[in-house]
Chain A
Amino acid sequence: MKGAVTVESKRVLMTGNEAAAEAAIRAGCQCYFGYPITPQNELIAYMAKHMPAHGRVFIQAESELAAISMVFGASLAGARAMTSSSSPGISLKQEGISYLAGCQLPAVIINVQRGGPGLGNIDPAQGDYFQATKGGGHGDYHIIVLAPASVQEMHDMTFQAFDLADQYRIPVMILADGRVGQMMEPIRLQEGPAPIPPAKPWALTGAKGRAPQCIRSLFLEEGALEKHNLALQECYRRIAAADTKLEETHTADCEWLIAAWGTCGRIGKGAVQKARAQGIKAGLIRPLTLWPFPYERLARLGAQVKALLVVEMNCGQMLEDVRLAVNGATPVHFSGYPGGRVPTVSDVFNALTALVRQ
């Protein structure tokens, strides 16, 4: 692997993009389809080099539309399949993601976010929260959204995403940013044999020994679509009950709560530590799953604290979910960085102390 330096105790220095790619290979990803875009190019290059070496499928597609459709094809044939891109490319993939959701097909999609709207810039950003968690494409659906804050999490979450996707027959998105993608950190790789995916009797593999099957998202028969959509909602309820994940820091006695995800969550933790050192009872909640969102836990913490501070590299997107969860019980403040600038620990600490002083 280019640029990787193996170190003792099995720690390997990798970029987040490479760590995600290597995780996919270790999770048994059989097919990868991608299209170049900054800042995720190391990922597609890693897959181009390593997938064929493992006897797996790599195609540089003609577009993001084609790449996600190839994922759709490989997935409906029963294979573990993945694509990756960055914000403008993910917009194009929304068509395919809606079809994957409608057809209940597993897939892993990595979004190494950059600035937007439009071409924006190539700096780290968190502007795709709404798109990722509220559907993104047309129709009434959700996908699982995981938010890594470090290279280790980029690796571990990508690995875990394949199992989640297969378990619930749902697309799973890793919502990273350019920072996490480009950064190198020493990580421990997922070891051991690749997980064995569950049986996929629904897959289209040819109708030998069984009746022909069809995978479709078109339901023209009377009442069929309603029934289908209600079944999807039932699946979403099961996921929310079993797989809502979050990280908490100093929340047991906190009076001031920072809520942040991904890179901002990591910086928020630094701000909490700085505040604690100065006697301010600060805490942090960092959702690891953005969908399903930890509404219940936030509601309870909201009732406990004096105020919340949401920090995001956007103009206030997770902010809306936090406000929904807290439901007016506590003031929810916001600190946003929408242009590609990454806040410093001091920025977040200063925003927090301004609240405390109020």
Chain B
Amino acid sequence: MKTTKSGYRRPASLTKAPMHYCAGCGHSTAHKLLAEVLDELEISERTIGVAPVGCAVLAYFYLKCDIAEAAHGRTPAVATGIKRALPDRIVFSYQGDGDLAAIGLAETIHAANRGEQITVVFINNTVYGMTGGQMAPTTLVGQVTATSPSGRESATMGGPLRMCELLNTLDQPYYIERVALDSHAGVLATKKALRTAFQAQVEGRGYSFVEILSACPTYFHRSPLESLKFVGGEMAKQFPVRIFRKEGVALHA
């Protein structure tokens, strides 16, 4: 592990491969925080991740742990199969909004409802990045995307799905938190949330879910800095940043 003059350290669980993510994209930060948590909990050698279909499909190039790639949306079902076959391993899924809240909504809800002992990392950036900026289930009302060129209209396209709130209606989940990668404080909060979620799994407590509000400057059609403001502003207004479920108890019903 090398330390630069500025104190930056590459986590051992992060490969040296240059990431393909766009400038200002939240995935690279989220990957690094995830790698740090795997390092700190000393679990990378017994962790199996499941990558989604979406921008993070290539996560296995960057994270230094065993990783499988699931069919689009089936990510929590694949994670379920792995965890049930190997209950003493740490299993996580890493999913975007299309994978988790559109095509994989059933798998997401049912894995949570069964209380699978997995950790779900949900990157919500309100758009489909990999396919070219189409509308996602979490796209804000009025937000312009390739498939909502006049802005999302709730009367015909529905409104943004609030996943933490939805999952918080279930009995089984142990830990649910929404954080935002919009600032230095947001980065620290995200790391803490991830650590809590993985710690819960290490202790065999149950299902843990971390939603990370994240920037996609390319399809926000904004600069990276403006994108961070959008995440902390309009997005956070729609998707309140808070702990929803702690130690199996709903804090915000």
Contacts and interface: CB of A to CB of B under 8 A. Distances in A.
In the complex they form, do A and B come into direct contact, defined as C-beta atoms under 8 angstroms apart? yes
Contacts of B44: 207
A74 interface: yes
Given A66-B106, A204-B67, A206-B65, A61 B85 contact: no
Contacts of A67: 77
A11 B117 CA distance: 42
Given A61-B77, A73-B78, A206-B48, A217 B69 contact: yes
B157 interface: no
A214 B64 CA distance: 10
Interface residues of B, number: 36
A31 B66 contact: no
11 contacts: A31-B84, A61-B110, A66-B107, A66-B110, A69-B71, A70-B84, A74-B81, A74-B84, A206-B48, A207-B44, A216-B68
Given A59-B80, A70-B78, A77-B86, A206 B46 contact: yes
Interface string A66-106: 11011111111111010000000000000110010000000
Given A62-B107, A66-B110, A215 B68 contact: yes
B81 A72 contact: yes
A206 B57 CA distance: 19
Given A66-B110, A69-B74, A74-B85, A214 B46 contact: no
A217 B53 CA distance: 11
B82 A73 contact: yes
A79 B84 CA distance: 10
Interface string A203-215: 0111111001111
Contacts of A207: 44-45, 64-66
Given A67-B77, A76-B78, A206-B86, 14 more contacts: A31-B85, A59-B84, A74-B85, A77-B89, A79-B86, A99-B70, A206-B45, A206-B46, A207-B44, A207-B45, A208-B45, A214-B69, A217-B69, A218-B57
Contact of A212 (B64, B110, B114): B64
A111 B82 CA distance: 24
Contacts of B70: 69, 72-73, 99
Interface string B68-100: 111100100111111111100110000000000
B50 interface: yes
B181 to A, nearest CB: 25
A208 B68 CA distance: 16
Given A206-B46, A212-B66, A77 B71 contact: no
Interface residues on A, range: 35 or more
B21 interface: no
A33 interface: yes
Interface string A293-308: 0000000000000000
B60 interface: yes
Nearest to B81: A73
A208 B90 CA distance: 13
A57 B78 CA distance: 14
B60 A214 contact: yes
B143 interface: no
Interface in B165-206: none
B238 interface: no
A213 B63 CA distance: 11
A61 B114 CA distance: 10
A317 interface: no
Nearest to B75: A69
> Most A CB atoms within 10 A — which of B70, B84, B85, B90?
B85
Contact of B80 (A63, A70, A213, A215): A70
